[in-house]
Each structure stands twice: as C-alpha cells, then as structure tokens.
Structure 1
Amino acid sequence: MSMIKNISKAEVLVLKDQVAYQEGQVVSKTLAQNDALSVTLFSFDKGEEISTHESGGDAFVTCLDGVGEITINGEKYELHEGESIIMPAKHPHAVHGKEQFKMLLVVVF
C-alpha cells in the first residue's frame, strides 16, 4: 500500500500552492496512489483540458483556485474555489480550465 508522497508531512500546507501553473499545460502532482485510492493535485492553464474519458472509480473533485468546467455525461458544471463535485465511476467526463484552475482529485476505486 502506497503512502502519501511528494508533499511535506507534519506541516500546515496550502494545497493550491503545491502545484504551479505552467503556460499552455496541465500539470499534475500525485500525492498517493494504490489499488483503492488516487490523490492528485492538478493545475490547468486557461483553455487547457483533460478530454472525455471514464474512470473505474468515483472521482471527487474540489476546486482550489480559479474556475473550471467539469462535463459529466455531456452536462457542463462550473466549479469555483471551495466547490466540489463527484464524477461517477464509468460515466464519461472531462475537465476544462475555463480560467486558470487548480483542483484536488480523489478517486476511490
């Protein structure tokens, strides 16, 4: 079983400061990953996206900064700082940086 990695322990952190924006890119930083769970920080430059796909687990997204657009089963949802949404397992979904956008993604398998 994998432990938390790529982030300081026993220290107060601001999650949105743990992944930087990069021009024209989607940046990800894996914090934990095993057969039951995946925890990843993402930053999206404005206009960047992860195209439509499906996941084997329920994906819990929390917006840490900016404005993102989450599409689930073809329906669009706008996510602002502090807001969350669940992208259900085995349903097509996509993520788009409507503005620069940072999110915490927790997938439970």
Structure 2
Amino acid sequence: MEKRFIKNIEFSKALDMAGLVDYQPGKVVSLTLSQNKTVSITLFAFAQGEAISPHSAPGDAMVYILDGRAEITIGNEKITATTGQVVVMPANIPHGLDAVDNFKMLLVLIM
C-alpha cells in the first residue's frame, strides 16, 4: 500500500469541506487531515462562544473561514472574518480565535 499524506477524508471524490465537521454545543470539534514536521492541516467547528486562547505557533498559520463568523486576535489587533475569508497569522506572534457565531475553519500551519 502506498503511503498516504492526507488522512480522515475520502480520496478521489468531490466533498463539501464544511460538511466534514459538525457543530456540537459547547465544544470545539477538530478533524486532522495531515500533520508532519512541516505542515499541519486541520478542520474545526466552533460552537458560538467557544474560543482558542492566545498562543503562538512556530510557523505561519492560515485560517480559511468555511462558515460563520470569528473574531481573530493577532498581537493587539482584532479582525472579524466571515465565510469565504482568509486570515494569515505570522509565526511566533500570539493569536487567538473567538466564535462570534458558530463557525468552521480550515487551518493550515506551515513550519
């Protein structure tokens, strides 16, 4: 069998990315699609009011909002991002996310 670099998703099929994770009240749901020394790709579904507290990452992190609305803090700056928008958070700068509404995102971390 060939080595697979992407997991937890069907191959050779058109899929609705936002439909791969479901909202759960009071929770942040995640689905890891790939993770190694240089890249991490994860889907998230945040219930309204949930958050990821400020932290920093060793690489640049890009979030693509698949559904809903999030408030993203990068350093001292707050950005509101909605469906279809993308935000890049630079390496080693503290950042956090708050679910203003239910929201889903694809996170790509490049190290």
Q: Give the TM-score normalised by the residue count of structure 1.
A: 0.97
Deviates more, 1:58-67 or 1:1-10: 1-10
Instruction: Find runs of 4+ consecutive structure 1 residues off by over 2 angstroms.
Output: none
Q: Quick one: which of 42, 45, 58 aligns to 1:43?
A: 45
Letter in 1 for 2:71: E
The DSSP-based 3-state class of the residue aligned with 2:10 is coil
Letter in 2 for 1:3: F
- Using the aligned pairs only, state the percent identity: 47
Deviation at 1:2, TM superposition (A): 6.3
The DSSP-based 3-state class of the residue aligned with 2:98 is strand
The DSSP-based 3-state class of the residue aligned with 2:61 is strand
Q: Which residue of 2 aligns with 1:104?
A: 106
Contact preservation (8 Å) 1:2, 1:34: no
Aligned length: 109
Structure 2 regions of 5+ residues with no counterpart? none
Q: Quick one: which of 51, 54, 63 aligns to 1:52?
A: 54
Q: Which residue of 1 aligns with 2:24?
A: 22
Q: Which residue of 1 aligns with 2:76?
A: 74
The DSSP-based 3-state class of the residue aligned with 1:12 is coil
Q: Give the TM-score normalised by the residue count of structure 2.
A: 0.96
Letter in 2 for 1:19: V
Structure 1 regions of 5+ residues with no counterpart? none
Contact preservation (8 Å) 1:2, 1:32: no
